[in-house]
């Protein structure tokens, strides 16, 4: 980002009301950057549309990335981040840690759709620049977001600092377990109980352990920057104004504490507090004719008996291979070659949790 010497015309209003979300929505593709100090000496940097950083004047030990609107119609996470940003700018909340907020896809917020041309959350980890398709705004945005996150973590300092990235989403379908997180593939590294405790404090007691690399934003931060990164599903997709914000109180309070305290105690780990799942397999859509055997309103975590038909992809029929194989993120409408379904089976805490 280039920050010009001349302060932008939006600055006085932004300082007064903290409404970075409206500013982002009014500038779908680009916003002049700027830097300013709050009364509490926090340095605020607007990097571009939808990208704002807070750097407190005190010594910090955490670098926190909070993203929302990677899918534009997933409004509850946007409303949560909007509130946190407003409170930081207006001084109601004081940052004690470095924090970078990202509204991923501003135009998709405005059209109320998951994406405009291409699913942004399939374009990370370099996928944005792979040959095949020409560029489009989502590919450019994925590249910019990777560069911004890299720059943010690198400026934070060495790897003794705690790096985290919570990518906030809501799911298309209802879910038996309303809130759940996806723990990206760690390539054999152990899963962290302290992160599960953080998630529990957010009201998230269900976690899926991925078994392979991905092109998602959370996998990128985990794999490339060693961050504790998760995709966090906070409920079901709803339009603005229709979210019951009482359902997000624990998440908001936990994020506020994370940002505004030097350290937070999330209590002792107790395996019984969690429902953990291991990804059993990923089913991609490869044919034009693709359908599921279950109803459009079948919820995430619905389990099937061994031998039950799950999906038909062209000539291929997929049957449940084990009793209790449960469906996550079924979506028959994805582009060819993309994930149409994840299935999971329960798992227990073992020695690979530290
Ligand atoms: O409900 C759905 O079908 C999708 C909800 C969603 O956007 N989930 C993320 C999960 C990303 C991950 O696997 O870490 C996505 O599909 O991008
Ligand atoms: Zn999403």
Q: What angle do CA 100, 214, 351 make, to 5 degrees?
A: 90
Phi-psi region of 149 (alpha: psi -120 to 50; beta: other; left: phi over 0): alpha
Q: What is the largest CA-CA distance in the chain?
A: 66
Asked if residue 185 lies in contact with residue 213, where contact means CB atoms within 8 angstroms, the answer is yes
Residue 147 CA, ligand 2 centroid: distance in Å = 21
Atom of ligand 1 nearest to the CA of 237: 1
Q: What is the ipTM metric for this complex?
A: 0.98
pLDDT at 55: 98
pLDDT at 1: 58
Atom of ligand 1 nearest to the CA of 342: 13
Domain boundaries, the chain: 11-272, 280-347
288 is catalytic: no
Residue 19 CA, ligand 1 centroid: distance in Å = 27
pLDDT at 145: 98
How far apart CA 67 and CA 52 sit, in angstroms, is: 11
Atom of ligand 1 nearest to the CA of 182: 14
Q: Which one from 55, 83, 138, 233 is the annotated catalytic residue?
A: 233
Residue 13 CA, ligand 2 centroid: distance in Å = 30
> Closest-lying ligand to the alpha carbon of 72?
2
Closest CA to 106 of 121, 91, 116: 116
> Closest-lying ligand to the alpha carbon of 329?
1
- Write out residues with Cβ below 6 Å of ligand 1: 71, 121, 169, 171-173, 182, 216, 218, 231, 329, 331
Domain 11-272 has CATH 3.40.630.10: yes
How many CB atoms neighbour CB 178 within 10 A? 20
Do 11-272 and 280-347 agree at the fold level? no
pLDDT at 160: 80
**Mean pLDDT of each 10-residue bin along the chain, 354 residues long:** 81 98 98 98 98 97 98 98 98 98 98 98 95 86 98 90 98 97 98 98 98 98 97 98 97 98 96 98 98 98 98 98 98 97 97 94
pLDDT at 27: 98
pLDDT at 2: 64
Site to probe by mutation for ligand 1, drawn from 125, 183, 231 as the one with most ligand atoms within 8 Å of Cβ, is: 231
How far apart CA 168 and CA 77 sit, in angstroms, is: 6
Look-up: residue for tokens 């079948």?
298
Residue 186 CA, ligand 2 centroid: distance in Å = 21
User: What single string gives the DSSP state of each residue in 227-258?
Assistant: -EEEEEEEEE---TT---GGGGHHHHHHHHHH
* CATH class of the 280-347 domain in this structure: mainly beta
Atom of ligand 1 nearest to the CA of 339: 16
């Amino acid at each position: 980002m280039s920050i010009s010497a001349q302060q932008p015309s939006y600055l006085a209003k932004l300082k007064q009301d903290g409404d970075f979300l409206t500013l982002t929505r009014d500038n779908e593709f680009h916003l002049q950057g700027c830097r300013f100090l709050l009364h509490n000496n926090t340095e605020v940097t607007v990097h571009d549309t939808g990208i704002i950083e807070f750097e407190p004047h005190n010594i910090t030990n955490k670098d926190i990335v909070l993203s929302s609107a990677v899918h534009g119609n997933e409004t509850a996470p946007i409303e949560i981040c909007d509130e946190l940003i407003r409170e930081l700018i207006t001084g109601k909340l004081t940052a004690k840690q470095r924090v970078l907020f990202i509204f991923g896809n501003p135009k998709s917020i405005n059209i109320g759709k998951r994406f405009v041309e291409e699913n942004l959350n399939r374009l990370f980890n370099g996928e944005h620049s792979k040959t095949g398709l020409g560029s489009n705004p989502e590919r450019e945005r994925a590249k910019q977001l990777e560069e911004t996150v890299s720059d943010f973590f690198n400026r934070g300092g060495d790897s003794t600092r705690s790096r985290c990235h919570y990518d906030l989403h809501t799911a298309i379908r209802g879910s038996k377990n309303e809130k759940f997180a996806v723990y990206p593939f760690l390539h054999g590294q152990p899963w962290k109980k302290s992160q599960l405790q953080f998630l529990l404090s957010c009201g998230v007691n269900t976690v899926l352990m991925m078994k392979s690399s991905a092109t998602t934003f959370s996998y990128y931060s985990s794999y490339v920057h060693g961050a504790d990164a998760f995709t966090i599903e906070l409920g079901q997709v709803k339009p603005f104004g229709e979210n019951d914000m009482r359902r997000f109180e624990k998440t908001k309070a936990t994020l506020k504490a994370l940002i505004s305290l030097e350290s937070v105690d999330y209590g002792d780990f107790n395996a019984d507090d969690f429902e953990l799942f291991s990804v059993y397999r990923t089913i991609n859509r490869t044919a034009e004719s693709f359908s599921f055997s279950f109803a459009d309103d079948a919820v995430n975590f619905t389990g099937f008996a061994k031998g039950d038909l799950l999906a038909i992809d062209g000539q291929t029929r997929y049957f449940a291979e084990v009793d209790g194989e449960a469906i996550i993120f079924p979506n028959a409408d994805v582009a060819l070659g993309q994930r149409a379904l994840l299935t999971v089976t329960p798992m227990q805490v073992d020695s690979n949790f530290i």
